Amino acid sequence: MDTRADSGVSEVSIQTMPSYEMHSYRRKVKSIAVWSISFAALAFVMFIILDILLSVISKGVPGLSLKLFATQTSGIAGGLQNAILGTLMLIVISSLISAPLGVLAGIYISLFAPKRFGAVIRFISEVLAGIPSIVIGYFGYMVMVLQWGMGFSALAGGISLSIIILPYIVRTTDASFRQIPKSYLEGAIALGMTPFMATRTVLLKLATPGVLTGILLAVSIALGETAPLIYTAGWSNFDPNLQLIKNPVAYLTYVVWTYLNEPYNAAHQLAYTAALLLVAIVLVLHLLVRLLQRGSIKHA
């Protein structure tokens, strides 16, 4: 019925106005129908999420114990202390590399870059996101582990992860900043602000939620990766330390991936508990970000 689906704001309100007088009943029904489908979609998503989350929780919880956090993996017995610490270490390394790079890059291509350059970087980021993680892993093994002599290490694993999550941070930052009307930046500069000041005082405030969601999403994706780490971080039964190269580290996804494929029930239990811990870490990160966000809004 409506061929003007993509028309701009001003046009809609002026040109299509008269037709809105008619068919008002049909339009209401249509609106309700679309919303019902949306609710159904959301319900469907929630159903699947709950199904997966509940299965992880119900299978993972029986394996929880204090010992899990206090001891290192030893065969199929023992705890996951080494894997928990190793996972956190890898996440910190990869975010320290990719978050500043990605956010800066996103700001640049959304605000300052020539149009064509911005388009190229956006395109490049999407292509980078499409590289299978196993390929990044093998690349890391050939280049970092062997050629650069890093060995299996936290650094090689962290760099591989940052390659994987960089495009997500770039794209979400870029999208959040582009959402802000251009006039805000122009106005601020007209008032005598430098671009840097305008960015950090006016624009960043508006873009922050989107940027943070992007970083969170990226960190969550990094947490869930196995393939790139097997060939770069290796695996260790012992706690990580500050030696960043030639020192393999443990991580939770390895436990999930490897221990599920073992003939022992105890190993399966440990795998499910490791999956549960991953979900818990993502949850804690979320809560912390939301808490900080709320705090900063109140202060502002």
Partner 1 sequence: MLNARIRSRIFQVAAGIAAVSPLLVLLFVAGVLVMDAWPAFKFQGFSFFTGITWNMGNMYASNPIVHNGVEGAPGATFGILPFIVGTIGSSLIAMMIAVPISLLSAFALVYKIPPRYARWISSAVELLAGIPSVVFGLWGMVVLAPIVANQIGPWLTHFGKVLPFLAGPVGSGFGLLTSGIVLAVMVIPIITATSRDLIAQVPKLPIEGAQALGMTTFESIRHITFPMVRRGVIGAIILGWGRALGETMAVLMVSGNATNYLPTNLYSPISTMASTVAALLDGALTDFSKLSIHALALIAVTLLVITMITNLLARLLVQLGRRDVGTEA
Partner 2 sequence: MNNFKKVSLMTISTLIGASALGASVSIVPAFAKSHVAHRSASVVKLQETGSTLLFPLFQLWVPAYKKVAPSVQITPSGTGSGTGIQQASDGTVQIGASDAYMSAAQLQTTPGILNIPLAISAQQVMYHIPGVSKKVHLKLTGNILAQIYTGKIRYWNDPQIAKLNKGVKLPHNAIVPIHRQDASGDTFLFTQFLTDTNANWSQTVQYGTSVSWPSVPGALGAQGNQGVVQTAVNTPNSVAYVGISWLDQGLQHGLGEAMLQNKAGKFLLPNNNTIKSAAGAMIGKTPKDERISLIYAPGKNSYPIINYEYAIVNQKQANPATANAVKKLLDWAISPSGGNKAVFMQKVHFLPLPASIQPLSKAQINKIHG
Residues 207-236 that bind partner 2 (CB under 8 A): 208, 211-212, 215, 219, 230, 234-236
- The answer to whether 82 and 240 are in contact (CB under 8 A) is yes
98 binds partner 2 (CB under 8 A): no
Placement of tokens 């299509």 in the chain: 16
For the bound state, the minimum distance from the C-beta of residue 78 to partner 1, rounded and expressed in Å, comes to 20
Say whether residue 89 binds partner 2 (CB under 8 A). yes
- Of 27-66, binders to partner 2 (CB under 8 A) are 66
Alpha-carbon dihedral 105, 92, 293, 212, rounded to 10 degrees: 30
Binding to partner 2 by residue 100, rule CB under 8 A? yes
- In the list partner 2, partner 1, none, the entry touching 85 (Cβ below 5 to 8 angstroms by class) is partner 2
Q: Which of residues 4-33 bind partner 2 (CB under 8 A)?
A: none
Compute the distance between CA of residue 160 and CA of residue 95 in angstroms, rounded to an integer.
Answer: 11
Question: Which 255-284 positions form the footprint of partner 2 (CB under 8 A)?
Answer: 258, 260-264, 267, 281, 284
Question: 55 is written with which tokens?
Answer: 């299965």
Q: In sequence order, what are the residues at sequence separation of 6 or more whose Cβ sits closer than 8 angstroms to the Cβ of residue 289?
A: 212, 216
Structure tokens at 51: 């199904």
Give the C-alpha separation, 207 to 125, whole Å: 20
- Axis-axis angle for helices 133-140, 154-178 (nearest 10): 140
Among 60, 63, 95, 222, binds partner 2 (CB under 8 A): 95
Report the distance separating Cα 99 and Cα 93, nearest Å.
Answer: 10
CB 253 to partner 1: min, Å: 5
Site for partner 2, rule CB under 8 A = 66, 69-72, 74-79, 81, 84-85, 88-89, 91-92, 95-96, 99-100, 103, 145-146, 151-152, 199-201, 204-205, 208, 211-212, 215, 219, 230, 234-239, 248, 254, 258, 260-264, 267, 281, 284-285, 288-289, 292-293, 296, 299
